[in-house]
Amino acid sequence: MTTEAAPTVFIIDDDDQVRAAIQGMLKSVGLRSQTFATAPEFLRSQRPDGPSCLVLDVRLPGINGLDFQRQLADAGLRIPIIFITGHGDIPMSVKAMKSGAVEFLTKPFRDQDLLDAIHQALDRDRVMRHQNIELTELRKRYESLTTREREVMALVVSGMLNKQIAGELGTSEITVKIHRGHVMHKMKAESLAELVRMATKLDLSPG
């Protein structure tokens, strides 16, 4: 197992003092951070790989934080976001949370509240990354199946018996058993229930 890269907290705020204060607070608890004054600056940056989250000011020059949240989602950049603002209101915070924000903090906020939200966001990102790695590995296994093995797998997870699959595919029951064995081995599935779970994760339509 490779050791996980150190987490990074990205901070986007056009106020120098706010950026410095948050960065200083994070440094004091051993968290690495990178700061940006604008959203485009963040997008242009070389960001380290590893768990991360974004502390994002709602009011930014050029683009507001909520629009930037949508822009990131549209670009497929899935990063947990904590909004901070000096001018928050309920509809704004509801919109941010509905779009997947971890927290919406109104300035001035307690350092501990921000820190709690950051730890929650980093945990969320770790889980997301782990699921992505798992899914990539699962896809690789599925791609190693032959066309016939994929057909057998689809019918197996739809609940059909070997005899029924043989009838469906116009082959013998013994041949189906062999293909089924190959599927279980290549997919590293210990049981039918596990194979069904894998098919669900791969979003395979039954039949």
Mean pLDDT of the chain: 92
User: In 3D, which of 102, 133, 131, 104 has the Cα closest to residue 119?
Assistant: 102
pLDDT computed for residue 26 by the predictor: 96
Question: How many whole angstroms separate alpha carbon 65 and alpha carbon 189?
Answer: 44
pLDDT digits (tens, 9 = 90+) for 2-33: 456 889 999 999 999 999 999 999 999 999 99
Reported confidence tier of residue 90, pLDDT bands at 50, 70, 90: confident
Q: Is the pTM of this model over 0.85?
A: no
User: H or E stretch including 198?
Assistant: helix 192-201
150-162 pLDDT tens trace = 999 999 999 999 9
Does pLDDT of 107 surpass 90? no
CA angle 114, 16, 87 (to 5 degrees): 55
d(CA 66, CA 56) in angstroms, rounded, equals 9
Structure tokens at 55: 């502390």
